[in-house]
Amino acid sequence: MAGGRKFMTKSGIEIAKFLDKRESFASAQEIFLGLRAEGRNFGLATIYRALQSLTSTGEVDVLRRSDGEALYRKCGEDHHHHLICKGCGKTIEIEGVSVEEWAHTIAERHGFREIQHSAEIFGICPDCFTQAEPKRR
């Protein structure tokens, strides 16, 4: 299901590596600044291009922040959902057999085909709950 691995440019590989080191979702702008902070300057266009390529193959997951900005994360190969801390952004990959069944059952009941679904959980992680200050954004 993880689309045929696509060719990746030199920059694309760097950007994928950068995402690999992050545990949380990051926006294109954050990636841009994060790489720059490491001394490696890429153009924004290059970053957006790489991100487009990476998401099209499923190598990178994307979701939308409440303000509409797109967030990217390098994830596991297989289908999964996310548990995300609203405080620090910590992200845990989760499975959801019951969700898969639910989506399938509902869709079938209404005669829908070519089904997709989204399901994410947001909350405050234990660290952020005890600490006054969340670690990061």
Window contacting Zn ion (CB under 5 A); options: 4-12, 40-48, 49-57, 128-136: 128-136
Q: Verify binding: residue 116, a copy of itself, rule CB under 8 A.
A: yes
Shortest Å, Cβ 83 to DNA: 22
Q: Which of 71, 72, 121, 75 is nearest to 96 (CA)?
A: 121
**C-alpha span between 46 and 44 (Å, rounded):** 5
Q: Verify binding: residue 7, DNA, rule CB under 7 A.
A: yes
Instruction: Identify the residue among 23, 34, 48, 107 touching DNA (CB under 7 A).
Output: 48
Shortest Å, Cβ 79 to Mn ion: 6
**C-alpha span between 87 and 131 (Å, rounded):** 10
Q: Verify binding: residue 89, DNA, rule CB under 7 A.
A: no
**C-alpha span between 29 and 110 (Å, rounded):** 40
